[in-house]
Amino acid sequence: MKVIGIISDTHGLLREEAIHALKGVDLIIHAGDIGSRDIIEKLEEIALVKAVRGNCDRGKWAAEYPVSETVRMENKKIYVLHDLKMLDIDLREKGIDIVISGHSHRAKEERKDGILYINPGSAGPRRFNLPVSVARITIGCEVTSARLINLNGAAH
């Protein structure tokens, strides 16, 4: 079994609560609106990081991150992009099992047509009175489970 930590929309703020919630994972996926390269460097102290560029990620540092990426973990194929509205591939044709996105700042997990869609919500500055959150997914032989984690005490 492997555990993936999922974070998005940090906008340059990596909270201690988020770092704590991601400890012990095998891989961290950042679904965009990173804010700065420093965020990725801090996450890399926890685990290997795969990240995509969000609509607010601009400048030379952001150019090193793709707009979307496909990641393999165990027997699962994971497609990562920032804004789900920009999804422009045939997921079935590509054999995608999990889609990870951010952008909306709203944590959400749902399954559609056998594909797990997960948005960890925003882990950066609080916006729209939405909870500050991250997610973890556990990938086993045949089962994938997701858990959204509300970072309750976060107050920025």
CATH number at 83 reads 3.60.21.10
Cβ-Cβ contacts under 8 Å for 84 (sequence gap 6 or more): 99, 101, 103, 104, 117, 119
Q: How far is CA 154 from CA 53, 115, 124, in A?
A: 24, 31, 9
9: pLDDT confidence band, cut at 50, 70 and 90?
very high
Asked whether the beta carbons of 154 and 127 are under 8 A apart, the reply is no
pLDDT tens figures, 19-39:
999 999 999 999 999 999 999
* 129-150: average pLDDT: 87
Find the domain containing 93 and state its range: 2-150
pLDDT for 129: 81
User: Residue 122 is encoded by which pair of tokens?
Assistant: 């925003």
Is residue 73 a part of any domain in this protein?
Answer: yes
pTM, 2 dp: 0.94
**Tokens 């795969």 sit at which residue?**
50
